[in-house]
């Protein structure tokens, strides 16, 4: 009878997944958004941005790595018209891909968030927009500044992602 043999298992050394994460916000109020129109949110300060992938001049994120990303936008609107629908949206490569909306119950203020997971190729872009309804009135809706009010958070979840 022979002795049982043992085999060693070799695993391939995997590449380290690049860390891609950012949190950017609006440093000054953005006033008088155009009614019933998509207005880009002028995010211009980074709390953190590993790899400097967010352009604070043009307010746009460019994916440095192909993979699945979690994208979370928050917009704090004020000077609203009661009873109107206000929407925020995430744009990928200049096209709306995700949106969230709320009907204002007062004229004071409200916060809207939009969360999604998107597969991005290297070079794809992400922007945050708002679309207030002030039709029939002057463009009064404003976006509040500060890192606690209006912000965009993006993180690479996995380089593997979901192929589209």
3-state secondary structure 68-121: EEEEEEEEEEECCCCCCEEEEEEEECCEEEEEEEEECCCCCEEEEEEEEEEEEC
- Residue 2 confidence (pLDDT) above 80: no
**Count of structural domains within the chain:** 1
Q: What pLDDT sits at residue 140?
A: 80
For 124, the domain range is 21-158
Please report whether residue 122 resides in a domain. Answer: yes
Averaged pLDDT for residues 46-74:
97
Which tops the pLDDT comparison, 147 or 76? 76
CATH number where 117 lies: 2.60.120.40
pLDDT average, residue stretch 135-159? 87
């Amino acid at each position: 009878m022979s002795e049982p043999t043992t085999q060693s298992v070799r695993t391939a050394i995997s590449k380290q997944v690049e860390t891609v994460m950012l949190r950017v916000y609006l440093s000054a109020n953005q006033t008088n958004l155009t009614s019933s129109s998509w207005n880009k949110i002028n995010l211009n300060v980074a709390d953190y941005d590993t790899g400097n992938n967010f352009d604070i001049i043009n307010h746009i994120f460019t994916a440095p790595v192909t993979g699945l990303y979690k994208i979370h936008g928050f917009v704090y609107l004020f000077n609203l018209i009661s009873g109107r629908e206000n929407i925020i949206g995430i744009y990928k490569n200049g096209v709306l891909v995700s949106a969230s909306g709320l009907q204002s119950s007062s004229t004071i203020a409200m916060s809207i968030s939009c969360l999604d997971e998107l597969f991005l190729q290297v070079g794809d872009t992400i922007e945050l927009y708002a679309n207030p309804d002030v039709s029939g009135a002057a463009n009064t809706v404003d976006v509040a500044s500060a890192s606690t009010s209006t912000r965009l958070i993006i993180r690479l979840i996995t380089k593997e992602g979901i192929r589209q």
